[in-house]
């Protein structure tokens, strides 16, 4: 006998997006905040061997031009993922000290991004919304972004989709949009029935 069970998993919808001046400018501004936050972390580590935490960086930078140039949640996400990269570096460094033979070399801390470079643009689920609209008498689903981003993209996902977050990744002459969402999937569990013995 098979019993149906369900569990929640994360899936990713990928959409290729043409680059634009607006997207390039936004990705460049994200890079500026990333580098500014990275500078503060590196400076404090050199000066006092203290790792500046995520909430401390947000308090330090909340009125800085690199922070205010971005949508609030995007700025917060940028700092969050930089701090996660540093934590990953510290873990790797500890492992390297214990078992260096497992590595090709000593782990490197998160580097600064190139001066004219671009960085990943992050959006929370409160910034992106999937909406249904009519276009040429046909119903279509669109994912919309904050007004200052000025982007609306066709997607196969419906408005009922539980979006976790989205990101725009610079890929040369294009951007790759990744929409990470939650989905419930059914699984079948085999159950065995035992026969009761009669006396």
Q: How confident is the model at residue 63 (pLDDT cuts 50, 70, 90)?
A: very high
Q: How confident is the model at residue 198 (pLDDT cuts 50, 70, 90)?
A: very low
Tokens of residue 113, six digits: 């991004």
Q: How confident is the model over 64-115, as pLDDT tens digits?
A: 999 999 999 999 999 999 999 999 999 999 999 999 999 999 999 999 999 9
Do residues 174 and 156 lie in contact, with contact meaning Cβ atoms separated by under 8 Å?
A: no
* Domain assignments of the chain as residue spans, ordered by start: 2-190
Could you tell me the pTM of the whole model?
A: 0.84
Q: What is the reported pLDDT for 1?
A: 54
Q: How many Cβ atoms are within 10 Å of 14's Cβ, its own excluded?
A: 9
Q: What is the DSSP string of 99-152?
A: -GGGSSSPPPPPPPPPTT---PEEEETTT-EEEEEEETTEEEEEEE--TTT--E
């Amino acid at each position: 006998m098979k019993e149906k069970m369900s569990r929640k998993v994360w899936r990713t919808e990928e959409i290729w997006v043409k680059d634009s001046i607006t997207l390039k400018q936004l990705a460049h501004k994200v890079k500026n905040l990333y580098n500014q936050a990275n500078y503060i972390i590196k400076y404090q580590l050199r000066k006092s061997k203290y790792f500046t935490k995520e909430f401390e960086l947000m308090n330090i930078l909340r009125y800085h031009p690199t922070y205010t140039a971005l949508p609030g949640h995007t700025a917060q996400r940028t700092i969050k993922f930089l701090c996660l990269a540093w934590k990953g570096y510290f873990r790797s460094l500890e492992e390297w000290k214990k078992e260096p033979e497992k590595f090709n070399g000593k782990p490197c801390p998160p580097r600064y991004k190139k001066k004219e470079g671009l960085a990943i643009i992050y959006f929370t689920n409160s910034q992106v919304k999937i909406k249904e609209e009519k276009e040429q008498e046909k119903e279509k689903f669109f994912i919309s972004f904050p007004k200052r981003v000025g982007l609306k993209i066709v997607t196969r996902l419906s408005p009922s989709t539980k979006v976790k977050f989205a990101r725009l990744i610079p890929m040369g002459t294009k951007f790759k949009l990744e929409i990470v969402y939650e989905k419930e999937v059914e699984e079948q569990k085999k159950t065995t029935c035992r026969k009761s013995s009669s006396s």
